[in-house]
Amino acid sequence: MKTLKSMRLHIGIFGKTNVGKSSFLNRITNQEVSIVSDIAGTTTDVVEKSMELLPVGPVNFLDTAGINDSTALAEERIDKTMKIINRTDVAVIICDYNGIDDYEKDLIKKFDELKIPYLIVINKQDIKEITPQKYEEILKQVADEKILKTSAITDNEIVCRFKEKLVKLLPDEFVNSPKVAGDLIPPKSTVILVIPIDKEAPKGRIILPQVQTLRDLLDSDCLSYVVKESELEQALENLKEPPALVITDSQAFKTVSEIVPENVPLTSFSILFARLKGDLSAFEEGAKAIENLNDGDKVLILESCTHHAIEDDIGRVKIPNLLRKKTGKELVIENFAGHDFPEIADYKLIIHCGACMTNRREILSRIIKANEAGIPITNYGIAISYCLGILPRAIKIFK
Ligand SMILES: Nc1nc2c(ncn2[C@@H]2O[C@H](COP(=O)(O)OP(=O)(O)OP(=O)(O)O)[C@@H](O)[C@H]2O)c(=O)[nH]1
Ligand code: SF4
Ligand SMILES: [Mg+2]
């Protein structure tokens, strides 16, 4: 709730009176935010509701007053909603089994002009299904993937189905936050980066997530101090004041956490990237399922790309070993790689890769699909931290 309203994604809900705009909002937020009634024109002023729509992020819904007067001129009709349109990042146009007419078409035209992404929700499908002819009429305006047929009253999967469609429409700058760590601390802060140079470190270079973090801190006017864990104590002594943040490779977390005073925020590169390429809260929640794994339970290691498995491969060797050690159970651990989404019903847990070769949008879609199927999902960085017992301290700075 600390996110400023201006930083939230504004989702405007539009449509004629009585089509179920307020009912839709209430179902998505799972609250009686807006008054619902069968009297047309129930919502007279815009109703706003801020919430955390996981894993999408902080959003602000705008439930608008429906317009009934189909005789009014197009400009007049649009004028009434224009104030809300101007605040809308993503629009939801709701209609019912009667489909769309000039009113919705004018809205679509306006959204296209203003480059506002939108979704058409065909509501009240429990009362009457929209006819193929009327559906065709909508298809002339928008692609199939932007249409959601539902019932705000009886569709139990409405929230997941809406989020799945929404993630595909979200503006890029909202989905792919450009910040790795620079938003966690004020500009000019001192940050220590701990990069172990062991036999796993690539010869003569520093791996991409570490380089990206360093670049991000430079962009944020921070002062970065890069050391191995063996020089960390001396680095802390050299500083006049404690650093604002210490970021370490998760393999060295235990050693580093013993050196860094408890009052200095500490996290790992993999946690920063779990946030950048996924959703920390969803992954943290998913990791809790590790505790409940039993003999014979199936765990899916889901990777976004097919890469050559190396000897000590993280998804095939390291994480399976950590999981077995942590749980002490005989787990059945399977791997799946690629952009397709596999059948997941049999699994008790999904552990997603760090997603360095894909974007956050794909990972958010996968989180939603897993949620829909009721399967916990976490990722490499969070699962490793959880197994090593370092998760609570590593995510404290994000709380
Ligand atoms: N059966 C059924 N009834 C619905 C559905 N959605 C909404 N309703 C009913 O339709 C009526 C109007 O719903 P509202 O949510 O108030 O509609 P609105 O679009 O917000 O209406 P205004 O605020 O007047 O513009 C209410 O009686 C709802 O219970 C649905 O999917 N199925
Ligand atoms: S972490 Fe990167 S390289 Fe590894 S499977 Fe995922 S996308 Fe591919
Ligand atoms: Mg209403």
DSSP code string of 325-387: HHH-S--EEEEEESSSPPP-TT-SEEEE---TTS-HHHHHHHHHHHHHHT--EEEHHHHHHHH
Residue 12 lies in a domain: yes
Are both 288 and 353 inside the same structural domain? yes
What pLDDT is attached to residue 1? 46
How many domains does one find in the chain? 3
Domain range for 112 is 5-175
Are both 45 and 149 inside the same structural domain? yes
Pocket perturbation via mutation, ligand 1, pick of 23, 35, 64 by most ligand atoms within 8 A of CB: 23
Are both 46 and 84 inside the same structural domain? yes
How close is the Cα of 307 to the center of ligand 2, in Å? 7
| pLDDT tens sequence for the chain (399 residues) | 455 555 688 999 999 989 999 999 999 998 888 888 887 777 777 888 998 888 888 899 999 887 766 555 556 666 767 778 888 999 999 999 999 998 899 899 989 988 899 999 999 999 999 999 999 999 999 999 999 999 999 999 999 999 999 999 988 877 876 689 999 999 999 999 999 997 777 888 898 889 999 999 999 999 999 999 999 999 999 999 999 999 999 889 989 999 999 999 999 998 999 999 889 999 999 999 999 999 999 999 999 887 666 677 888 999 999 999 999 999 999 999 988 889 999 999 999 998 877 888 889 989 988 998 999 999 998 999 999 999 999 999 998
How close is the Cα of 315 to the center of ligand 2, in Å? 9
Residue 115 lies in a domain: yes
Residue 182 lies in a domain: no
How close is the Cα of 76 to the center of ligand 2, in Å? 52
Are both 226 and 291 inside the same structural domain? no
Are both 338 and 284 inside the same structural domain? yes
Backbone angles phi, psi at 93, to 5 degrees: -105, 120
Residue 228 lies in a domain: yes
Pocket perturbation via mutation, ligand 2, pick of 335, 356, 382 by most ligand atoms within 8 A of CB: 356
Residue 398 lies in a domain: no
CATH number at residue 77: 3.40.50.300
Ligand 2, atom 8, lies closest to the CA of 305
Are both 26 and 168 inside the same structural domain? yes
Binding pocket residue ranges, ligand 1, CB within 6 Å:
15, 17-23, 36-38, 40-43, 65-66, 123-124, 126-127, 151-153
Cβ 355 under 6 angstroms from ligand 2: yes
- The string of pLDDT tens digits covering residues 139-195 is 999 999 999 999 999 999 999 999 999 999 988 877 876 689 999 999 999 999 999
Cβ 287 under 6 angstroms from ligand 2: no
Of ligand 1's listed atoms, the one at least distance from the Cα of 15 is 19
Domain boundary among 175, 203, 238: 175
CATH number at residue 365: 3.40.50.11410
Are both 52 and 16 inside the same structural domain? yes
CATH number at residue 237: 3.40.50.11420
Residue 138 lies in a domain: yes
Are both 361 and 324 inside the same structural domain? yes
Which ligand has the nearest atom to the CA of 66? 1
How close is the Cα of 308 to the center of ligand 1, in Å? 54
Residue 399 lies in a domain: no
Domain boundary among 272, 292, 321: 272
How close is the Cα of 312 to the center of ligand 3, in Å? 57
What pLDDT is attached to residue 78? 64
Residue 62 lies in a domain: yes
Of ligand 2's listed atoms, the one at least distance from the Cα of 337 is 5
Those residues with Cβ within 8 angstroms of residue 273's Cβ, 6 or more apart along the chain or in another chain = 180, 209, 354, 355, 356, 381
Domain boundary among 175, 201, 228: 175
Pocket perturbation via mutation, ligand 2, pick of 212, 270, 303, 362 by most ligand atoms within 8 A of CB: 303
Those residues with Cβ within 8 angstroms of residue 170's Cβ, 6 or more apart along the chain or in another chain = 9, 56, 90, 117, 361
Which tokens hold the place of 345?
């019903």
Which ligand has the nearest atom to the CA of 363? 2
Pocket perturbation via mutation, ligand 1, pick of 19, 33, 36 by most ligand atoms within 8 A of CB: 36
Are both 223 and 338 inside the same structural domain? no
Residue 310 DSSP one-character state: P
Are both 26 and 89 inside the same structural domain? yes
Is residue 348 within 8 A of residue 375, CB to CB? The reply is yes
DSSP code string of 57-119: EEEEEEEPPPB--TTS-HHHHHHHHHHHHTT-SEEEEEE-TT---HHHHHHHHHHHHHT--EE
How close is the Cα of 78 to the center of ligand 1, in Å? 22
Ligand 2, atom 2, lies closest to the CA of 356
Are both 133 and 22 inside the same structural domain? yes
What pLDDT is attached to residue 71? 55
Which tokens hold the place of 363?
């990972």
Those residues with Cβ within 8 angstroms of residue 160's Cβ, 6 or more apart along the chain or in another chain = 368, 371, 372
Pocket perturbation via mutation, ligand 1, pick of 17, 18, 32, 161 by most ligand atoms within 8 A of CB: 18
Beta pairing partners, 13: 63, 92
How close is the Cα of 245 to the center of ligand 2, in Å? 27
Residues, beta carbon < 5 Å, ion ligand 3? 21-22, 42-43
Are both 21 and 103 inside the same structural domain? yes
Q: Is 319 helix (H, G, I), strand (E, B) or coil?
A: helix
The helix-helix angle for 280-287 and 269-276 (nearest 10°) equals 120
Which ligand has the nearest atom to the CA of 40? 1
How close is the Cα of 16 to the center of ligand 3, in Å? 9
